[in-house]
Structure 1
Amino acid sequence: MDHKTESEWRATILARLKALDSEDELGRAGQATVELDQQAVGRLSRMDALQNQAMARATGARRQTERARLQAALARLDEGEFGYCEDCGEEIAPGRLRLDPAATRCVSCASG
């Protein structure tokens, strides 16, 4: 992979990491502790708030997983292994990497 292509992939991955950071900032309020104030919020409203909190936490966990995958992709870039299948060693199609720059397997190996 030439230096220009490597720089483009690095910029793409860093942009996705930055977007995850922005989403984390927006999602923090949804993960806050739900107050037990029956006077201010009815029981059903509190149940909705708890469900929303659980969904916000699950979304945050998915972002953490995606962040780890993208950081691993950056490490592969540094090691010169980015874009190659971890199973067969063949190049991963550029279209697949554009959809998911953290992909570690080619379509053939991923489909089993």
Structure 2
Amino acid sequence: MERLEEATKPIAPENAIGRVSRMDAINNRGVSEAALRSARRKLTNLKIALTKIDAENFGICARCKRPIAPARLMYMPESTECVRCADR
């Protein structure tokens, strides 16, 4: 996240880079901002999941009430839905 935060800093107008390079830098900054938002959202969801890991309903789908596959929980511990319900 630190690298993404660095990549989202404003581009100083006094930088002597060409117009096309500046446009590319602005585009890259936008991509980095989106990636940073996504990383922050995932971190928040992981922190929430960590607080609920000892709860009786952890690993149970919020929609269908069936167990969430262990492989899904290993890959995405913040999951609150099984694959089938998440695809809907």
Judge same fold: TM > 0.5, yes or no: yes
Per-residue Cα deviation, 1:44-89 (whole angstroms, up to 9, x for no partner): 1111111111111111001011112212211321433211111122
Total equivalences in the alignment: 88
Unaligned runs of 5+ in 2: none
Determine the C-alpha separation between the residues in 2 that align with 1:54 and 1:35: 15
Structure 2 counterparts to residues 18-57 of structure 1, below 5 A:
24-37=1-14, 40-57=16-33
Structure 2 counterparts to residues 23-102 of structure 1, below 5 A:
24-37=1-14, 40-102=16-78
Per-residue Cα deviation, 1:19-52 (whole angstroms, up to 9, x for no partner): xxxxx112222111101126x1111111111111
Determine the C-alpha separation between the residues in 1 that align with 2:87 and 2:38: 22
CA displacement at 1:96 relative to structure 2? 1.4
Query: For residue 59 of structure 2, what is the amino acid of its counterpart?
Result: G
Determine the C-alpha separation between the residues in 2 that align with 1:83 and 1:30: 36
Unaligned runs of 5+ in 1: 1-23
**In structure 2, do the counterparts of structure 1 residues 111 and 50 end up closer, same or farther at CA, with 3 Å as the change threshold?**
closer
SS in 1 for 2:85: helix
Alpha-carbon RMSD across the aligned residues, in angstroms, is 1.7
Richer in helix (by share): 1
Give the TM-score of the pair, scaled to structure 2.
0.85
**In structure 2, do the counterparts of structure 1 residues 31 and 105 end up closer, same or farther at CA, with 3 Å as the change threshold?**
same
Which residue does 2:85 correspond to in 1? 109
